[in-house]
Amino acid sequence: MKDTSWQKVADWYADYSADARSYHQTVIIPNLIRVLGPVRDCGVLDLACGAGVVSAALAQAGALVTGVDASSTLIAHAQKSTVDISPQPKFYVTPADKLPLADRAVDSAVCVLAIQNIQSVKETFVECARVLKPSGRLELVLNHPAFRIPQGSAWGWDATTHKQYRRVDYYLSEKTVDIVAHPGQQKSKATISFHRPLQYYVKLLTAAGFVVTRLEEWISPKKSQHGPRQKEEDRLRKEIPLFMLIEARLV
């Protein structure tokens, strides 16, 4: 099995996800908190928690958070960044398919921008079903599988119609793709991303005992700089979502 942890880029990712301008801070965390609703005194699992930015937000909202990640460096960042939060989240270095939790231990689980980097998705969903309480829910946030395809999608410009468009070169085919962390830099480290179509996740969720209860698509809040394409670029950002949220509940 491939090493799909972000250990090699842990320090860079910790800085990126904590940046106030990152999508974690501007799009994902506010929407996730809205979807979850009140979490005070609720047990929440932050699956593949990275540097703990989601764990911190959940703990500040009153949740009793357990964060797990396969990268020891990212877990160290998570522990350091949440040391002043009470109660501080508990963090463990472990892969997503081997959770250090008892059966029926948490009310909810979240997995933010990580399921596309996990190879053992089937086993991970089974583990989530094991540790969730009856009717517990799993919130998956992922790069939109139809529009953000690793090395298979891009923005294009039609010079005849003066329209921007999203080019998609493949979708149904599952692929494993090496993603260079810093394109253009020599000796830049790479992470592994798995592209899967939406049906892949729905089928495995169903097999693990879940039913999909919510699906949302989230757009970028960015604005283009002034120029001849500004209006069209800003228009299409509101039409082509960056992220998808899939909520699944145990039945």
Q: What's the rounded mean pLDDT across residues 105-125? A: 97
d(CA 99, CA 124): 9
d(CA 194, CA 29): 23
d(CA 191, CA 119): 12
Q: What is the pLDDT of residue 9?
A: 86
Q: What is the pLDDT of residue 185?
A: 61
Neighbours of 248 (CB within 10 A): 28
55: region left, alpha or beta (phi > 0 left; psi from -120 to 50 alpha): alpha
Mean predicted lDDT score pLDDT of the chain = 94
Q: Is the model's pLDDT at 186 over the cut of 80? A: no
Is the separation of the CB atoms in 83 and 46 below 8 Å? no
Q: What is the pLDDT of residue 1?
A: 64
Domains of the chain: 7-146+195-227+242-250 (3.40.50.150)
Q: What's the rounded mean pLDDT across residues 77-89? A: 96
Q: In this predicted model, what pLDDT tens digit does every residue of 196-247 receive, in sequence order?
A: 999 999 999 999 999 999 999 999 999 999 999 999 999 999 999 999 999 9
Q: What is the pLDDT of residue 20?
A: 83
Neighbours of 173 (CB within 10 A): 11
Q: In this predicted model, what pLDDT tens digit does every residue of 29-66 receive, in sequence order?
A: 999 999 999 999 999 999 999 999 999 999 999 999 99
